[in-house]
Amino acid sequence: MNFTSKCVPFYELSLDELYSIMILRQEVFVVEQNCPFVDADGKDNLALHFMLVDENNKLSAYTRLFGKSVYYEGFTSIGRVVTSAHARGGGLGKILMQKSIEKTIEIFGNEPIKIGAQSYLIKFYQSLGFELTGNDYIEDGIQHTYMIKPAE
């Protein structure tokens, strides 16, 4: 499958794009993970929205990108990392994160990137250069850990 990327601030999202993002996030974070929580956390307007869409213009994967100290003090950040069920199994999650890291560095500079990772994905994020901080926490009933990718 071929994917195209787009990265825009909140106020440049079309209504269709915003709707697709909200559907994807709810499908995965609320329904699949059986985790009722308010996904619209008031931070979308502070983020850049990175999207991978397929050849049918369907949103397949998505992240939010934050500049230094916007989400975590002293760090840039990538969050709401999500891949649609229809696009899984072919390495798109890794492509999504690689491109998100590249875009974060391109836009916000070569700064350390901090994430709040679901603990079962630690090895995945380590393969992308993220390091454990030793700070584990529970968010919405799911075990997480903070990880940092040092500046290159």
Q: Is residue 29 pLDDT above 80, yes or no? A: yes
73-122 tens-digit pLDDT? 999 999 999 999 888 888 999 999 999 999 999 999 999 999 999 999 99
Q: Which CATH architecture has domain 3-111?
A: 3-Layer(aba) Sandwich (3.40)
Closest CA to 144 of 114, 127, 121, 110: 121
- Amino acid 9: pLDDT: 98
Quickly state the pLDDT bin for 8 (edges 50, 70, 90): very high
pLDDT, mean over the chain = 94
- Amino acid 35: pLDDT: 78
Closest CA to 115 of 59, 66, 152: 66
How many Cβ atoms sit within 10 Å of the Cβ of residue 44? 18
- Domain ranges within the chain, ordered by starting residue: 3-111
How many Cβ atoms sit within 10 Å of the Cβ of residue 93? 17
